[in-house]
């Protein structure tokens, strides 16, 4: 607290003189009309050129290694490792002190979700740009406020009498006093006391999450109207007075017990929405009236069947203007997300994007009356507006349009089906004041992919609401099932920012994990070094402790380790510790993670463990070697894909584990059989050549000069590890040719020679979404087993093909057995790990066999049904009621026999029963005359089958079912009686 006190006592005469010297002209030079591009560049240049901030590019909207977020939703997301004290000390990020950028943000889903507000008002968006400046242990409140006020009033020329400032009023329950320091800074700057407004935790205390860095914030609000006292309108969520800039002062850490401790390093995190700032500087109350949106609204109007956008909200007849805003907002979000590798899908961020796309499509088609393809045709307009600052939009424009068009076509089909289902359900309801069945809403969501908010919206337009109590119950049941599937997944013991600061403060050195790379190859056998270490620190999940007891789960930090921590897409090592003096007690290592230069081994203590203990680390060498094999194979696969498919192939993700590797990459469509074979052949050629795998640490800037270097969207340490297959890294540094070789920045553990991979088989290749494919591959013995399984399945398909072509089955029983064999073999081909190219070939052949066998079965069934129908006609004649039994086990033959009898005797009410020899049940099928039926076939079947404890169903003309029991004489008698009674009525 001493630091806060010193800041309060520090004289602020410099600020007083600075702002008293300003001329009135600087507060009245506001000229609306500054283009959005200039607004953005002015912000960045102000902090970069005038205040020495480093310009850091926007990160992609898909978070880097942060499972707590669906999307990047604030400018600070990419800097969380700094705030949490986990930045790799060798990376450039660890050196950041003053930073500025414009970050692409998406707020749709998760804690910050503006999706349902978009379109209803004129200032909420799912995608927006966040302008921000940061200080990491450099300047604090005084400088941050000074810079903000200077930029807004002097450089942007916003009149000071339009601005209001809020600050934190304190919270007695949390033991937090009012932020009088910030209030005094604003007073010294020249903000009138009546424009300085105190607010509580909700408005003016910012927290990263339930735990972690947090602190008071001060917000700057703008009054669009002016010439009045608008202080009562601040933070009322009205359109006239809006927040434009939030300055967060990170000075506390929230612990798991909700207590607050001062951080060892104070930081500043500010955020200002570009869209709102542009509306202020262009003199517009609506963000949609600025040049960030007007070209889009014009393009939408050109393609729609309604009038132009007029900006209405509350009295928006037909929701036309709402639809304009929704489509304009959503196409920006879709374009940015797809360009960054997020595609509409079925879970997580992909599911949210799917909802956004479907919402946009519905407003386009139903409200704006625009033709199919309209949404994708807006992409070029988005790239014209944003492409200069985010060039990936230009590069990916064609792919973005393809993804949108494909998903639109899928949704329009399900939209029609879903709309019909809604109409049918509403028609069955007695009155519109009833609640809509939650089961139907859940079916729309689960089976047709309807976002639940879209279901609500469609029903709201009809004055009906969903039974949310029932819907919540169904969702909870679904969630319970999903949780049970993931049972056993435990959260990791991760150091918090305070514990990391304590480690640094106590002088605990970063973990030396260089031993993970110090293995050798001795006559085709990998030798891993022994590792003896000292326990430097223990973390019990909440704080650092000196000792843990038996059964306690903890994080163990050692002076050195040979274990690999999970990073770079590679699974962590497995193994255990033994303690000096207690060699027969094993401490299994459950996970290994990296945090701020420390390697944390997660252990459930098998006995007591304390700091200073000496331990020996026992690495699961088979697991490590398997990961090394898969990781090196992944690099070779990356190279092979580029050689076969061309240089446009880009890695989109990967994961390496002991049993298989997964690799995601950009490609137009699914790979052909020929391409899959070529890729495998290319990989296995490199494996057979037993090429040497080279690695070397280099300064990051030097490594980036290597021609053909492959990187992914990661924050790399400096120096960085370069892994090259077949060519020494030193040669690549000097080589200016474009020779094809695998060279990547990678922190993973690799083989020393490629021959240890033995073999690679691609067992799966499928498109995750349009333009992104995923390969799953196995190596070594698993690859050999996959090839063997493929050979066996291929022989089985050959055998069936030969049987079919040699002599077509002549009996129905043999044809049905053959069709069943084809179905069983198809399941085996679909689900057995075999080469994917072979799977595709076998699946194609089996589909042909299935069609042929099904055709043969249908012909034989029809022939057998004709024979049986003729015999029954000869036996019974053409009666009004024709009820009899048939000797068959085939429901299809039974139904076909009924059909043929009805065709031959169109005035007959026909029902046939067939006893099934093996199940102890009987089959029932019936049909009534098409013209003037006396009763419904479904009622007849239900009556007969229910008599014997069975079930039935069908239509008014045709029905079928099953009953229990081997004696069907009673059922036959009741069937005749039921029919004759109905006819007489």
Residues marked as binding? 631, 635, 746, 750
Q: Are 383 and 397 in contact (CB under 8 A)?
A: yes
Percent helix, strand, coil in the chain (nearest 5)?
45, 25, 35
Give the dihedral of Cα atoms 49, 54, 57, 60; nearest 10 deg: -140
Coil, strand, or helix at residue 462?
A: coil
CA 734 to chain centre: 41
**What is each CA distance from 66 to 69, 490, 748, in whole angstroms?**
6, 16, 20
Q: How far apart are CA 79 and CA 82, in angstroms?
A: 5
Full DSSP string of 579-636: ETTEEEEEEEEEEEEEETTEEEEEEE-SS-EETT-EEEEEE-HHHHHHHHHHHHHHHH
Contacts of 663 (CB under 8 A, 6+ apart): 634, 637, 638, 641, 651, 653, 654, 774, 775, 777
**What is each CA distance from 367 to 307, 326, 361, 920, in whole angstroms?**
11, 11, 10, 57
Angle between helices 348-362 and 320-339 (to 10 degrees): 150
**What sections of 704-811 are H helices per DSSP?**
729-734, 780-806
Q: Are 52 and 294 in contact (CB under 8 A)?
A: no
Contacts of 454 (CB under 8 A, 6+ apart): 355, 358, 359, 362
Q: Are 664 and 613 in contact (CB under 8 A)?
A: no
Phi and psi at residue 596, in whole multiples of 5°?
Answer: 55, 35
Q: How far apart are CA 354 and CA 407, in angstroms?
A: 8
Q: Which helix (H) or strand (E) holds 196?
A: strand 196-199
Angle between helices 438-448 and 452-460 (to 10 degrees): 130
Q: Are 717 and 683 in contact (CB under 8 A)?
A: no
Q: Are 931 and 902 in contact (CB under 8 A)?
A: no
Name which of 250, 223, 197, 231 is nearest 74 in CA terms: 250
Q: How far apart are CA 245 and CA 870, in angstroms?
A: 86
Q: How far apart are CA 144 and CA 150, in angstroms?
A: 10
Name which of 613, 606, 564, 614 is nearest 587 in CA terms: 606
Q: Are 979 and 928 in contact (CB under 8 A)?
A: no
Q: How far apart are CA 195 and CA 164, in angstroms?
A: 5
Q: Are 352 and 70 in contact (CB under 8 A)?
A: yes
Label residue 954 left, alpha or beta by phi (over 0 means left) and psi (-120 to 50 means alpha). left
Name which of 954, 985, 981, 972 is nearest 882 in CA terms: 972
The radius of gyration of the chain from alpha carbons, rounded to an integer in Å, stands at 35
Pairing state between β 909-915 and 881-885: parallel
Binding site listing for Zn(2+): 631, 635, 746, 750
Phi and psi at residue 906, in whole multiples of 5°?
Answer: -65, -15
Partners of 884 in beta bridges:
912
Q: Length of the chain, please?
A: 985
Partners of 777 in beta bridges:
661, 762
Q: How far apart are CA 906 and CA 853, in angstroms?
A: 32
């Amino acid at each position: 607290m001493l630091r806060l006190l010193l800041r309060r006592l520090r004289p602020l005469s410099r600020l007083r003189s600075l702002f008293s010297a300003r001329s009135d002209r600087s507060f009245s030079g506001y000229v609306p009309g500054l283009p959005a591009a200039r607004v953005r560049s002015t912000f960045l240049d102000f902090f970069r050129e005038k205040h020495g901030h480093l310009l850091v590019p926007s990160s992609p909207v898909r978070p880097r290694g942060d499972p707590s977020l669906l999307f990047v939703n604030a400018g600070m997301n990419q800097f969380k490792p700094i705030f949490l004290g986990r930045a790799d000390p060798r990376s450039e990020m660890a050196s950041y002190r003053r930073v500025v950028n414009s970050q692409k943000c998406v707020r749709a889903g998760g804690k910050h979700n503006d999706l349902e507000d978009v379109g209803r008002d004129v200032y909420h968006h799912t995608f927006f740009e966040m302008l921000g400046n940061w200080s990491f242990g450099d300047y604090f409140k005084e400088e941050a406020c000074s810079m903000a006020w200077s930029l807004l009033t002097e450089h942007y020329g916003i009149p000071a009498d339009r601005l209001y400032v809020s600050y934190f009023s304190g919270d007695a329950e949390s033991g937090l006093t009012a932020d009088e320091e910030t209030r005094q800074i604003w007073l010294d700057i020249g903000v009138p006391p009546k424009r300085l407004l105190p607010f509580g935790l909700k408005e003016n205390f910012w927290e990263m999450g339930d735990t972690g860095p947090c602190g008071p914030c001060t917000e700057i609000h703008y009054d669009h109207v002016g010439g009045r006292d608008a202080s009562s309108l601040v933070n009322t969520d009205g359109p006239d007075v809006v927040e434009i800039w939030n300055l967060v002062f990170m000075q506390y850490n929230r612990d798991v017990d909700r207590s607050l401790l001062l951080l060892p390093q104070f930081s500043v995190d500010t955020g200002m929405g570009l869209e709102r700032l542009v509306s202020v500087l262009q003199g517009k109350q609506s963000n949609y009236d600025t040049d960030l949106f007007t070209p889009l609204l014009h393009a939408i109007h050109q393609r729609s069947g309604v009038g132009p956008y007029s900006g209405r909200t509350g009295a928006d007849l037909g929701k036309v203007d709402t639809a304009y805003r929704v489509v304009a907002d959503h196409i920006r979000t879709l374009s940015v997300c797809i360009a960054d590798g997020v595609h509409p899908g079925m879970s997580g961020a992909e599911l949210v994007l799917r909802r956004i796309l479907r919402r946009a499509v519905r407003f386009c088609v139903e409200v704006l009356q625009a033709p199919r393809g309209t949404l994708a045709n807006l992409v070029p307009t988005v790239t014209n507006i944003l492409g200069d600052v985010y060039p990936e939009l230009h590069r990916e424009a064609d792919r973005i349009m393809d993804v949108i068009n494909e998903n639109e076509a899928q949704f329009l089909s399900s939209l029609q089906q879903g709309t019909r289902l809604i109409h049918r359900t509403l028609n069955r309801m007695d009155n519109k004041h009833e609640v809509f069945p939650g089961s139907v809403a859940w079916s729309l969501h689960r089976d047709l992919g309807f976002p639940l908010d879209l279901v609500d919206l469609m029903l709201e337009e009809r004055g009906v609401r969903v039974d949310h109590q029932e819907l919540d119950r169904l969702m909870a049941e679904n969630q319970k099932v999903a949780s049970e599937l993931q049972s056993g997944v435990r959260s990791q013991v991760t150091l918090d920012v305070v514990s990391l600061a304590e480690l640094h403060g106590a002088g605990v050195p970063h973990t030396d994990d260089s031993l993970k790379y110090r293995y050798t190859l001795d006559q085709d056998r990998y030798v891993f070094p022994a590792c003896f270490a000292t326990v430097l620190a223990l973390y019990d999940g909440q704080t650092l402790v000196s000792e843990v007891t038996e059964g306690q789960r903890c994080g163990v930090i050692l002076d050195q380790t040979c274990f690999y921590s999970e990073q770079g897409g590679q699974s962590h090592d497995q193994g255990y510790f033994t303690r000096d003096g207690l060699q027969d007690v094993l401490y299994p290592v459950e996970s290994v993670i990296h945090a701020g230069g420390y390697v944390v081994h997660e252990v459930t203590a098998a006995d007591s463990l304390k700091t200073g203990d000496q331990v020996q680390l026992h690495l699961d060498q088979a697991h490590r070697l398997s990961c090394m094999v898969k990781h090196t194979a992944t690099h070779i696969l990356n190279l092979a894909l580029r050689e076969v498919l061309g240089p446009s192939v880009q890695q989109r993700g990967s994961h390496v584990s002991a049993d298989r590797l997964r690799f995601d990459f950009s490609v137009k469509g699914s790979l052909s059989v020929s391409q899959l074979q070529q890729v495998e052949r290319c990989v296995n050629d490199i494996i057979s050549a037993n090429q040497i795998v080279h690695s070397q640490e280099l300064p990051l800037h030097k490594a980036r000069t290597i021609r053909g270097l492959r990187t992914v969207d990661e924050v790399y340490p400096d120096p960085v590890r370069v892994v090259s297959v077949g060519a020494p890294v030193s040669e690549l540094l000097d080589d200016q040719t474009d020779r094809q070789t695998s060279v990547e920045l990678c922190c993973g553990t690799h083989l020393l020679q490629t021959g240890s991979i033995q073999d690679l088989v691609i067992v799966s290749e499928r498109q995750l979404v349009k333009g992104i494919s995923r390969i799953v591959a196995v190596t070594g013995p698993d690859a050999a087993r996959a090839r063997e399984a493929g050979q066996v399945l291929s022989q089985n398909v050959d055998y069936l093909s030969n049987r079919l072509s040699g002599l077509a089955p002549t009996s129905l029983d043999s044809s049905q057995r053959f069709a069943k064999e084809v179905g069983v073999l198809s399941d085996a081909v679909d689900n057995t790990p075999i080469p994917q190219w072979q799977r595709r070939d076998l699946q194609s052949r089996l589909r042909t066999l299935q069609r042929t066998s099904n055709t043969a079965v249908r012909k034989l069934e029809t022939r057998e049904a004709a024979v049986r129908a003729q015999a029954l006609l000869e036996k019974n004649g053409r009666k009004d009621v024709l009820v009899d039994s048939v000797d068959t086990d085939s429901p299809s033959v039974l139904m076909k026999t009924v059909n043929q009898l009805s065709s031959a005797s169109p005035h007959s009410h026909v029902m046939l029963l067939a006893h099934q020899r093996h199940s102890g049940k009987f089959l029932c099928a019936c049909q009534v005359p098409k013209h003037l039926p006396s009763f419904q076939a479904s009622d007849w079947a239900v009556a007969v089958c229910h008599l014997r404890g069975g079930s039935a169903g069908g239509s008014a003309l045709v029905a079928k079912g099953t009953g229990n029991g081997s004696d069907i004489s009673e059922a036959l008698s009741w069937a005749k009686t039921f029919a004759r009674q109905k006819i007489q009525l």
